[in-house]
Structure 1
Amino acid sequence: MNDIELKAYLTQRVLSFSQSWNEIENNLYAKYQAEEEALRKAVPETEFHYAERTDWFALLNEQISPLFDGFCTDKPRVYGGKVRNSFGFPSKFNGCDHPLELLVNLKHKSRAEIYVKTNTHFEDEYLFIVLKKADEWRIDSYKNRRYGNEKWSTQIL
């Protein structure tokens, strides 16, 4: 695979991962909002009522687990990883669905950085670190920044 093909492949991998994550998170958030609205309508505000709620975190963990298996390096992730206790709006990789700019920097034969600039209200930018392990390219970590800030913030994957 030449450099142009490799850059296209890495870009596709990162975008597929981030878009799949966003789709899962946005879908669950919409269902969560609908469930909460239905519960509010079912019970008058003056009454206390316990209602069984969906375990949204279990569903999130179940759905993102294959993303880690298919796209990410297999390393211990003390925080994050396949077990999550939060999701919300905007989604984790907000704006990666329609990036303004994509750049791939091949640092050396087994490391690349994929830069994604988005068109969001927050002016989100992402920097994915992708490593080649056992002849396979996998996302190892990512950083982000907002509002044109110069400093990258390391994020939990």
Structure 2
Amino acid sequence: MTIYFYGADEVPYGCFSNFSDHGLDLDGCWWPTTEHCFQAQKFIGTRHADLIRRARTPLRAAELGRDPSKPLRRDWERVKDDVMRRAVATKFRTHSDIRGILLSTGDEEIVEDTTTDHYWGRGRTGTGKNMLGRILMRTRSRLRAELDEAQGSHGRPAGR
């Protein structure tokens, strides 16, 4: 089975959306959503980045982050996947309720069901890279490994 998500208000998988209302503390700043965090990183160290961080909604943060009149940081194409990875991992480490939802998906494929984004989602043809879905699945694997490691180091008598 494949799990498709898109809107932040969809139950139960809307929390996989970067627009979901799950803030995070990353690099010494509070971000209202992963969308705010991701979009601002395109302009890190500028006033525009702070404007994005303070945007009232994730949609507004996305609009500001896609402003063609603002130059992107030079290394953006090289770092954007890692920026997304860090934001998504931090979001799911911060919020135990949605961490549980992500872990409950087992080994199912997770796909951002958008026709407009061929890179982060499945795209119009369904053959997109689905990088957000792939990052969510990688985050799930890492969280599961961390949980297994934590449970493995507790509760067992020494020497067994």
Verify same fold: TM over 0.5. no
TM-score by length of 1: 0.26
TM-score by length of 2: 0.26
Higher helix share: 2
